Chain A
Amino acid sequence: MAAKSENVEELVRKDYEHGFTTEIDADTVPPGLNEDVITFISKKKEEPEWLLEWRLKAYRHWLTMEDPTWAHLDIEHIDYQAISYYSAPKSKEDGPKSLDEVDPKLLETYEKLGIPLQEQKMLAGVAVDAVFDSVSVATTFKGKLKEAGVIFCSFSEAVKDYPDLVKKYLGSVVPTADNFFAALNSAVFTDGSFCYIPKGVRCPMELSTYFRINASNTGQFERTLIVADEGSHVSYLEGCTAPMRDENQLHAAVVELVALDDAEIKYSTVQNWYPGDENGVGGIYNFVTKRGDCRGKNSKISWTQVETGSAITWKYPSCLLKGDNSVGEFYSVAVTNNHQQADTGTKMIHIGKNTKSTIISKGISAKQAQNAYRGLVKISKHADNARNYTQCDSLLMGDKCGAHTFPYIEAKNSTATVEHEATTSKIGDDQLFYCRQRGIKEEDAVNMIVNGFCKEVFKELPMEFAVEAQKLLGITLEGAVG
């Protein structure tokens, strides 16, 4: 194997000869995936032996798996050998040289969201030399967290600084062999975030700012692990309302949450990856595995997501309700426009007694887009008095789009209460006319009706995020009616 590693390094050097000027830029392996590449990644990141073994185990299992095809998605074949699995930091050579090379539609959106020019460049993947004043912001932020005893750092740092915590919890919620994309991620993930809230601590702030600043470089196989120890509380915000462009088309992240006794994790996402142009060219594939483990009694995990971006979204943030009296929640707004496709939903696995889950899913499709909700509510044998309430609403704009609902319910305990409600409605000409007759412009009226439709989910988002999400929705659906 040592010999092969040399080959890789040789190839790397070759790239260097081709004009890369700094040593950091040479940190890119050629496309293709094998055990050497994984070893290379692990070595580059100076990882302990156990983590390399863990990665390799995941890889070997991945080799035995096949792309999932059960989702209601039309995915072009992905050539996994054509992907480069390590490029840190992201190669500036491939990105646009300036904003002039970026899809003007994207720039228009930035303008509307009021994003400063420097940040626009960063989001669009244009090489930015100085990352404005974000470094200092992040530093102050970190100090405050440290005071509270909260660990919040990149995944690589966590592996170095808190190996015991990482070893204890990594893969304990999403096992390496869980599914095709999770296995792939486990084998090749490069970085992500790690967060640990100690016993009894209420995290003094929403973990958002930091993320927003660091989000652009997390790479395509991102790994997030959040552990809330007994009686702690944290609200974590991921993503950004501004559309993010990336050279990497495939994104397969894994997010694991662990809530111990009486702990609460609130995880909010606004996902707005580049969806491709109006013909669906160049959009991101977002295949994410997100799972929360309510491991302790009285614990609570709440997922809130607003999904407006990506060409294809494949995502099911789930909760394992193991602890007695634990609570799982899933609030989702998924918007698809033009040629976007989304197959998203959740799994609520009731294992402990008196466990409770709530699912509120709002799907909006416009133009030719397809939007599917897929949800599983499973009540295990010993989950006495488990309760679930599911509400799935779909809103259609135009007559070429589609909404699909695939609810699965498995109840093995007769004391369970499972409720499911589903509606599909077209954005009503009546509603539009009503608003317009009152003097409200058509576009504003659409906005108002759509936001009203999503209200139950938006109110779960942290305030500032909710306002941004509303604005975002308006922009995403601009011109979808009429």
Chain B
Amino acid sequence: MLKIENLHANVEDKKILKGINLQVNAGEVHAIMGPNGSGKSTLANVLSGRDGYTVTEGNILFENDSILELDPEERAWAGIFLAFQYPVEIPGVNNVYLLKAAVNAIRENRGEPPLDAVEFLALVKEKMKLVKMKEDLLNRSVNEGFSGGEKKRNEIFQMAVLEPKLGILDETDSGLDIDALKIVSEGVNHLRSDDRAFILVTHYQRLLDYIKPDFVHVLSDGKIIKSGGPELALELEDKGYDWVKDEAQAA
């Protein structure tokens, strides 16, 4: 589904990603772990096409096509969803209104007719249960006055409604208490399926207790320096990142 080839990327003139290779197949969950400043969030932003990040080398293929030249919205239409580390507040814009505009924009680009109010509401009701969204959050302004947990839950809720092919979760676990973490994880687990893939970007192993990854990758200084199964995450939790770095250097 997603193939990252020798990806190099800069923020302003600073080199952040220095040759990333990664293949994500449908149905898989990949965790990207690493210390602060290793380039985890940059990777998430580059994948979703955010301005301010320049790809200097390499390629990103999504379903066999390069997406480097695509605008963020075109990537969204293709089926890439980013759950933000810091979901943005948009005063005066109704949460559900934004979501409806998003759903119908994506449908339009797939040549599907827009959902009418009734159909959309049915979809929303169904997905709300998934993440135990409180109804009053629907009609509030996007993320405005939401608690940290509510914001993250809103991200997962949006993902559930938009049903992407690839979900990228950028530090979704940060700032969540254990109850919120459980709810968010349940939502994600519910969305796991054979034709959908996830990339979990996280600093801590904690999230992976609830969302079991198929693969764990350690990112350090812009490169993936070690990959493994779920047991790698536990090892990192135990020993920290330094031993992997040392190992990589030795190699």
Contact = CB atoms under 8 A, between A and B. Distances in A.
Q: Do A and B bind each other?
A: yes
Interface stretch (A107-115, A186-194, A309-317, A427-435): A427-435
A437 B93 contact: no
A434 B90 contact: yes
Interface in A398-457: 428-431, 433-442, 444, 448-449, 451-456
Given A439-B77, A439-B106, A448 B50 contact: no
A438 B90 contact: no
B93 A438 contact: no
Contact of B92 (A430, A440, A444, A454): A454
B76 interface: yes
**Across chains A and B, which 5 residue pairs bring their CB atoms closest together, nearest first?**
A452-B92, A452-B93, A439-B76, A455-B92, A438-B102
Contacts of A455: 92
28 contacts: A430-B88, A433-B50, A433-B88, A434-B84, A434-B142, A437-B75, A437-B84, A438-B76, A438-B98, A438-B99, A438-B158, A438-B162, A439-B76, A439-B105, A439-B106, A439-B162, A440-B98, A440-B102, A442-B71, A442-B73, A448-B93, A448-B101, A449-B93, A451-B93, A452-B92, A453-B91, A453-B92, A454-B92
Contacts of B93: 448-449, 451-452
Nearest to A425: B91
A481 to B, nearest CB: 11
A439 B102 CA distance: 5
Given A437-B49, A439-B103, A451-B92, 5 more contacts: A430-B88, A434-B87, A436-B73, A437-B50, A438-B99
Interface of A: 428-431, 433-442, 444, 448-449, 451-456
A376 B50 CA distance: 43
A436 B48 CA distance: 10
Interface in B66-82: 71-73, 75-77, 81-82
Nearest to B94: A452
A396 to B, nearest CB: 15
B51 A431 contact: no
B101 A431 contact: no
Given A433-B50, A434-B84, A444 B105 contact: yes
B141 interface: yes
Nearest to B168: A437
A103 to B, nearest CB: 31
A440 B87 contact: no
Interface string B43-54: 000001111100
A433 B51 contact: yes
Nearest to A428: B88
Contacts of B75: 437
A167 to B, nearest CB: 46
Contacts of B102: 435, 438-440
Interface centre among A438, A441, A453 (most CB of B within 10 A): A438
B63 to A, nearest CB: 17
Contacts of B87: 434
B159 to A, nearest CB: 10
A416 B103 CA distance: 49
A450 B158 CA distance: 22
B237 to A, nearest CB: 30
B90 A437 contact: no
Contact of B90 (A431, A436, A439, A456): A431
B89 to A, nearest CB: 8
A424 to B, nearest CB: 13
A437 B76 contact: yes
A242 to B, nearest CB: 25
Contacts of A451: 92-93
Contact of A449 (B71, B82, B90): B90
B76 A456 contact: no
Interface in B141-172: 141-142, 158, 162
B72 A433 contact: yes
Contacts of A442: 71, 73
Contacts of A441: 73, 105
Contacts of A428: 88
A434 B142 CA distance: 11
A438 B142 CA distance: 13
A441 B73 CA distance: 6
B133 to A, nearest CB: 16
A466 to B, nearest CB: 13
B167 to A, nearest CB: 12
A441 B88 CA distance: 17
Contacts of B71: 436, 442
Contacts of B162: 438-439
Nearest to B48: A437
A434 B73 contact: no
Interface in B198-247: none
Contacts of B101: 438, 440, 444, 448
B92 A436 contact: no
A335 to B, nearest CB: 15
Interface in B92-139: 92-93, 97-99, 101-103, 105-106, 109
A454 B91 CA distance: 9
